[in-house]
Amino acid sequence: MKFNNKYYPLLLFALLIGVKQLCAQTGGIKVACIGNSVTYGYGLANPAQESYPARLQKLLGTQYSVLNFGHSGATLLKSGHNPYYKTPEFKGLIASKPNIAIIHLGLNDTDPRDWPDYRQNFEADYAWLIDTIRKANPRVHIFICRLTPIFSGHPRFKSGTRDWYWQIQNLIPLIAKANQVDLIDFNKPLHNRPDLFADNLHPDKEGASILARTAYSRLTGNYGGLKLPSVFASQMVLQRDRPIPVYGTANAGVEITVRFEKVVVKANTDENGEWKVTLPASKAGGPFQMTVSTKDTSITLNNILMGDVWLCAGQSNMYFPLNHSAEGIAAIKAASTNAKLHLYKLGPQAETYPVVWDSVSLAKANKLDFFSGSWKACDSGSTADFSAVGYYFGEKIAKDTDVPIGLIEVAVGGSPTESWIDRYTMEHDDQLVDMLNNWRSSDYEMAFCRERAAINLKNAVNIKQRHSYEPCYNYEAAIDPLTRFPIKGVVWYQGESNTHNVELYSHLFTTLVSSWRQTWGADLPFYTVQLSGINRPSWPVFRDTQRKLQKKIPDMQMAVSFDFGDSLNVHPTRKREIGERLALLAARYTYHQPVKANSPEPLTATRQGNQIVISFEFAAQLKTANNKDLIGFELINNKGQSILPIAAIRGSKVYLTIPAGENIKAINYAMQPFTRANLINEMGLPAPTFTMQPHEKENVFY
């Protein structure tokens, strides 16, 4: 039965009134919950009270009679190893002649005894079940459900269950359409809650409550009234020159009116309580006002600017606040002059310092209620604890372009790259999927992350307690809610917590960029920071890997920072220069201004007699930062021994003199953990850490 969204409340009311009249003598409206162990309540202490059908009964009230026809291990497939139609619950279902039927079957069909042999029967067998229920009561209202999650810790996940699960999942909406039944999404509210699935398959009592609430809202159309995502608020900046999506939730079938400038757009919420309107693209400007309303509720947002929105994300060096930076106090005092800069800081509920999280923080982390914040105009109060790198970046862009700039800060000290990637992407990557399980004891994770998380989670009782270092967590808690909100680009400062495995990092970061671009758009630019100098042995190779990734990943540029490093402190305080280097890159590659923005980059090196000549791009004239001798170069001979060459600069080339008789297999620059290497170009931008090896051609290095 399909309803026009506009008339959903009226039609649903009429349906329920009719059902109530028909059921007046039968003890209420009969709701049959049909399924497997998830419906039955397997693993719950008291399924009769804690299963999702039992909880749905409490929500719907005494005018309904909710019947649990769940059978553990049941398959939808009639040729399956435990077909539902042969169970006692099926007989009870048909005998009950339900008025409403909710079918959640398919999880057990992912078994290797079932799907490989009988997949071709799934749609027909589902249609048979639907038709059989209709024969029992031709006026029954049937809902079929997208499946609850199967998490990657399931023992058959990689051997077939993962792929078969998604084949079934993708069939279910098609089955609903073909059989003219309605759909309930049991996956969406739980796909990012592994903490509720101790065995990776069955939800606990909180998960059962979420399923009950999902079914209740779908049956009644009650989604709690008009709500906007937290990113929609007064002081926000909307992305200019693109259609503007405005979206949220409200009760099903309600008319939503959005007023912005002189434009008025209306829409009706769908059966899931979701609505969206699209406003026409607008030029930079403001301030503007937006009103979102229903017939009985109105939300007004003030001081909205149209401009460019940049997401500033990463770990502690992005989180590092302006009031701790070297020139921060002066910047804070002058902040109110930046009227075109607005800030949205999503701060974590609990810090990842070596402290034990309390019960409130643990609970919020599990519920993904870990970040909060609001848009603010730029002043001394809003800037003090905002990202210093992000602030200096936005300040320069706003002044240079005269365009309003909105900065969204989402950063977590110590967070690894994998915590910023979505679950579906990691689950479907055969190299990354194994990172999802037992992460707190896994060598995939840096020891620092495991040790710090152990301190934070000392009081946790849930074996799957969530944490912001966990793979996927920061994506699920912070990034996912932003993915429908258009942005101009990403400023990224992260990597310190992945230096233990540079090969894995290369794949992780490439995956992150690709997946974010699939979500926001293929043209999403990334501006990143090469890690600074510090006395940590793995960092030189990591910095060089970052440089190589910059050349491999399209539309990504990197700012060098090692020259402002601190040998003993992972958080150097010279943040203005880093933010402005990032802004210079954005000016060149996003705003297409005629500026020189890149650090000198080595192209080739050729051996000519007793010299190696290195050619650089992005350098009309090389020089040294302190007008002293050029330092930082190192040659590696065929025995692996280090040689310090005599180095000289001529124009855009560096000449390295080789001791007689030496065979050179590598050229290194700034490859010490903490380095005083001093090669810069005419813009004062430093050359990055790099290494070059011989090419197939003799005497040529790349």
Average pLDDT over residues 240-261: 97
Residue 4 — very low, low, confident or very high, per pLDDT cuts 50/70/90? very low
Which pLDDT tens digit goes with each residue over 512-543? 999 999 999 888 999 999 999 999 999 999 99
Average pLDDT over residues 175-193: 98
Backbone angles phi, psi at 376, to 5 degrees: -140, 145
Token pair in block for residue 432: 């990354």
Alpha-carbon span 371 to 103, nearest angstrom: 35
Say whether pLDDT at 207 is over 50. yes
pLDDT at 289: 98
| DSSP per-residue string spanning 226-250 | -B--TTS-TT-EEETTS-EEEEEE-
Say whether pLDDT at 697 is over 80. no
Please state the three-class secondary structure of 586-629 as a single string: HHHHCCCCCCCCCCCEEEEEEEECCEEEEEEECCCCCEECCCCC
Which pLDDT tens digit goes with each residue over 627-657? 999 999 999 999 999 999 999 999 999 999 9
**DSSP run (H or E) holding 214:** helix 205-220
Widest distance between CA atoms in the chain? 104
Alpha-carbon span 29 to 22, nearest angstrom: 8
Share of the chain above pLDDT 90, in %: 93
- In this structure, are residues 295 and 251 in contact, taking their beta carbons and an 8 Å threshold? no
Which of 271, 298, 97, 94 is CA-nearest to residue 182?
Answer: 271
- In this structure, are residues 235 and 189 in contact, taking their beta carbons and an 8 Å threshold? no
Residue 27 — very low, low, confident or very high, per pLDDT cuts 50/70/90? low
Backbone angles phi, psi at 92, to 5 degrees: -65, -40
Contact partners, residue 84, CB within 8 Å, separation at least 6: 34, 36, 71, 74, 75, 76, 90, 105, 129
pLDDT at 347: 95
Say whether pLDDT at 118 is over 80. yes
Residue 17 — very low, low, confident or very high, per pLDDT cuts 50/70/90? very low
AA identity, residue 541: V
Which pLDDT tens digit goes with each residue over 277-302? 999 999 999 999 999 999 999 999 99
Average pLDDT over residues 86-115: 98
Share of the chain above pLDDT 70, in %: 96
- In this structure, are residues 654 and 617 in contact, taking their beta carbons and an 8 Å threshold? no
Bridge partners, residue 623, by sequence: 680
SS3 content of the chain, % helix, strand, coil (to 5): 35, 25, 40
How far is CA 276 from each of CA 127, 518, 628, rounded to the nearest angstrom? Answer: 32, 20, 61
Which of 203, 258, 254, 184 is CA-nearest to residue 225?
Answer: 254
- In this structure, are residues 667 and 635 in contact, taking their beta carbons and an 8 Å threshold? yes
CA atoms within 13 A on the CB side of 377: 14
Average pLDDT over residues 372-396: 97
Which of 113, 158, 260, 242 is CA-nearest to residue 524?
Answer: 242
- In this structure, are residues 236 and 300 in contact, taking their beta carbons and an 8 Å threshold? no
Average pLDDT over residues 193-220: 98
Alpha-carbon span 118 to 106, nearest angstrom: 12
Cis upstream peptide for 287 (omega within 30°): yes
- In this structure, are residues 243 and 280 in contact, taking their beta carbons and an 8 Å threshold? yes
Say whether pLDDT at 7 is over 60. no
Say whether pLDDT at 65 is over 80. yes
Alpha-carbon span 503 to 231, nearest angstrom: 36
Average pLDDT over residues 2-30: 52
Alpha-carbon span 189 to 506, nearest angstrom: 32
Alpha-carbon span 382 to 384, nearest angstrom: 6
Strand ranges inside 442-500, DSSP E: 489-493
Average pLDDT, the chain: 95
Q: pTM of this prediction? A: 0.95
- In this structure, are residues 407 and 344 in contact, taking their beta carbons and an 8 Å threshold? yes
- Count Cβ atoms below 10 Å from residue 359 Cβ, excluding itself: 10
Token pair in block for residue 105: 């079957």
**DSSP run (H or E) holding 162:** helix 162-178
Say whether pLDDT at 502 is over 90. yes
Rg (CA), the chain: 30
- In this structure, are residues 399 and 583 in contact, taking their beta carbons and an 8 Å threshold? no
Which residue do the tokens 């402190």 mark? Answer: 569
Cα–Cα–Cα angle for 284, 287, 292, rounded to 5 degrees: 105
pLDDT at 9: 47
Average pLDDT over residues 57-67: 98
